[in-house]
Amino acid sequence: MKARAAALDDADPLAALRDRFALPAGVVYLDGNSLGALPRHVPDRVAFAVKTEWGEHLITAWNRDGWVDLPVRTGERIAALIGAAPGTVRVTDSTSVNLFKVLSAALSLKGNRATVVSDSGNFPTDLYVAHGLERAHPGVALKVVAPEDVAAAVDDGVDVLMLTEVDYRTGRRHDMAALTAKAHERGALVIWDLAHSAGALAVDLEGVRADFAVGCGYKFLNGGPGAPAFYYIAERHQAAVEPLLAGWFGHAAPFAFETAFRPAEGADRLRVGTPPVLSMVALDAALDIFDGLDMDAVQAKGRALTDFFIACVDPFAAELGLELATPRDGAARGSHVSLRHEQAYPVMQALIAAGVIGDMRAPDILRFGFAPLYVRFSDVLSAAGTLETILRQESWDRPEFHARKAVT
């Protein structure tokens, strides 16, 4: 396997990108699906925004340094990575807030009388948001089915289909094209959460004719902790969308300070408040690394990394109590692999102590994210070897590894 890893690294067309990230020596970082690594040039860009733009230019920086345009400019850059048309993506707020905005918009297009279908593999916050809107609108009902039952649930009774493309626990990937097409055949609108897709997969929102989408900036897009999120509104819906959560930056004339809300043209109408400039500057700078990248090549490397990890773990998995929770079919998974183990929490703590950073999801999932821009095949081999050693030696069975801490 060592020779194979070396050969794969030598043939990797994205290998040079790793040097653009500030990765700690001696650490194998496999949690970029929770928090992307720091691009080396971002601290200087943020420092300039703080010291010069804010410190010297003060309020004039909104126009002089283009702060006011950041939600649009950064949105257009993300649009290019997710197959979205110009003018359809804006960066602002959190994923949860953006989901509230697009789901309420979809419901308004259905007259606020709708059955919303989602699945139990969706990120819990997405379901919380949907339940909140269900409580607010007596005519709205949320139906949650098992992930494998989604296709069957897309019947004549569905009005809005709300799914996360890649399951945050197992890495299972929904067939976006097929499910969107089936929903549209039944007159339903479709919302996709791209939290574990954007920056790792070749998403084609326009090609599949998605209606709405949301996603975060801090995972595979490497925008930093709590980076702003994004939303997508297909151009065909923009004129009809009436924001439930309305704010001055979504107004047609924000600096007219009118007491009555008039929605802006296009995707801007779902903007709300003042953008978080410093965190948006960090995200905008991080996106430089994607300039000129072919997302098909990014996805291909992610699939190769996950294939290789599964191949490295397979020889000892059953013997040492591991079960693959992620689909073996590369087309049916995102860029992370999950393994079930009854002692997942202490095992992951032992891995982190040994320099392999992944994460776990209750109750029994060890989760390993493979960010294609900076993870090497040699990292994959090292991680698998460390996992095997910890399990064989049962070095996870120490009091400090059992002590529960916050796991992101």
Residues serving a catalytic function are: 123, 193, 218-219, 367
Handedness of CA 365, 366, 371, 376 (dihedral sign): negative
Buried-exposed string 358-368: b where 16+ CB fall within 10 A, e elsewhere: bbbbeebbbbb
Provide the pairing of β-strand 323-324 with 336-340: antiparallel
DSSP-assigned beta bridge partners for residue 214: 193, 231
CA dihedral (17, 22, 24, 29) in degrees, to 10, reads -50
Q: Which is nearest to 32 in space by CA: 310, 301, 324?
A: 301
CA distance 176 to 232: 15
CA angle 124, 204, 370 (to 5 degrees): 60
CA distance 173 to 196: 10
Q: Which is nearest to 31 in space by CA: 355, 407, 369?
A: 369
| 397, 346 contact by CB (below 8 A) | yes
For the chain, report the end-to-end CA distance as a whole number of angstroms.
Answer: 31
Q: Which is nearest to 364 in space by CA: 342, 380, 381?
A: 342
CA distance 212 to 289: 26
DSSP-assigned beta bridge partners for residue 324: 339
